[in-house]
């Protein structure tokens, strides 16, 4: 019993670091983005917005509640047609998003907590 509790504490301690501030790529232009930004308070998602008419890509931190067509239209009035993607893991706004990694992380966390309780 003590051994299981110790292992559980070690695993949970390792997961605490996951609560640090989100990092996103932050730039605009048609080229590859390498500038990284630590998101501020309340910014809990990374945005990748592609101007389908002009060819520019915008990457930045954003509040998840603003990740919708209407809000983004107001934030980017210079962009007439666009597609966008919001994600919530570090530097996830560089390549096409993969929800598989988020789902795997969530399932792993649930499995660890279930194992620790039983």
Alpha helices in the chain (DSSP H): 2-16, 69-75, 99-117
Which tokens go with 9? 């504490």
Asked whether 25 and 35 are in contact (CB, 8 A), the reply is yes
Give me the residues paired with residue 51 across strands.
82
Report the distance separating Cα 106 and Cα 75, nearest Å. Answer: 31
* Domains of the chain, each with CATH number or no CATH: 21-93 (2.10.60.10)
Is 74 a residue whose pLDDT tops 70? yes
Distance CA(26)–CA(97), nearest Å, equals 16
Going by pLDDT thresholds of 50, 70 and 90, the confidence category of residue 3 is: low
Residues 24, 58: Cα–Cα separation, whole Å: 11
13-56 tens-digit pLDDT? 444 445 579 999 999 988 889 999 999 999 999 999 999 999 99
Report pLDDT for 32.
87
């Amino acid at each position: 019993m003590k051994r299981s509790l110790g292992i559980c504490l070690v695993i949970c301690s390792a997961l605490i670091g996951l609560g640090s501030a989100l990092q996103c790529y932050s730039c605009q232009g048609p080229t590859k983005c390498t500038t990284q930004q630590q998101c501020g308070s309340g910014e809990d998602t990374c945005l990748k917005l592609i101007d389908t008419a002009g060819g520019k890509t915008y990457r930045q931190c954003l509040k998840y509640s603003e990740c919708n067509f209407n809000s983004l239209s107001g934030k980017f009035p210079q962009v007439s047609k666009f597609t966008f993607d919001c994600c919530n893991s570090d530097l996830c706004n560089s390549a096409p998003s993969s929800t598989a990694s988020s789902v795997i992380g969530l399932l792993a966390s649930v499995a660890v907590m279930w194992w620790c309780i039983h």
